[in-house]
Amino acid sequence: FQSSMYILYLQQLFTDLILLVIFMCNCAPMVIIQNYIFPYPMCTTVSLIMDSLNNYCWYNNSLSQVSIALNRLVATVLFRPSLLTSNVTIGLAAFQHLLAISMMAASQFGFPCCRIEFDYSIYSYRDAMIPGRTNTAWFYLKLPAQIACSAIPFIIYCIILISVRATSGRLVLQSVVLRKRRRQELKFTAQFAGLAILYTATWTSFFFFPLIKVTTENTWLHG
């Protein structure tokens, strides 16, 4: 169970490191100088690459919430080690990356509007709105994906909680080793449930804060 959990968590850690490099080497310098760090027209190409890479990382981390929640369901409720082999987990992780790349490509290049771009004036990412165009990428891909990546883990963790409460009395009949192992799995589950809550709070804040009227005094709210 633990090896499969670590494999899935490494996918999130990998994309978090990429995001850290993007923010430190690309976003932060632009915010400091309030300009692009590369001359035109190179800046447009570099920005598109960085924005697309950031979008891929976001989708991958979103999908990680679902894959980790499924892992916790198998580990704590079904308790089926045969379903969590290294090969199965690596296959799931590879599918997750491919799906994240596909979602990034669709939202950045497939929909007529609107791709994500970094805006140094508001210290954050925003949708590059086109006058007269509906933000189809948001309504048909980004919003449904984020809702699903919050709702599915929420349902799974509720199932785990209900199952734990229903079977707590029977744990006394298990061996000391099994009880200890199960408690450890539940501890990991609680930690990842907390991450899922943080993820939901993050994307909802990205949705609501841009609704605040931007002035020179409150642009920091977007960042």
Q: Which CATH number is 210's domain given?
A: 1.20.1070.10
Instruction: Evaluate if residue 120 carries a pLDDT over 80.
Output: yes
Domain range holding 199?
2-222
Number of domains composing the chain: 1
In the chain, which ranges are continuous DSSP H helix?
2-22, 28-33, 42-73, 86-105, 136-137, 143-167, 176-208
Question: Range with the lowest mean pLDDT among 141-145, 187-191, 199-203?
Answer: 187-191
Query: What pTM value is reported for the model?
Result: 0.84
Exposed / middle / buried, residue 189 (Cβ in 10 Å: 0-12, 13-18, 19+): buried
Higher pLDDT, 49 or 204: 49
pLDDT, one tens digit per residue, over 84-114 is: 788 888 999 999 999 999 999 999 999 988 8
DSSP 41: T
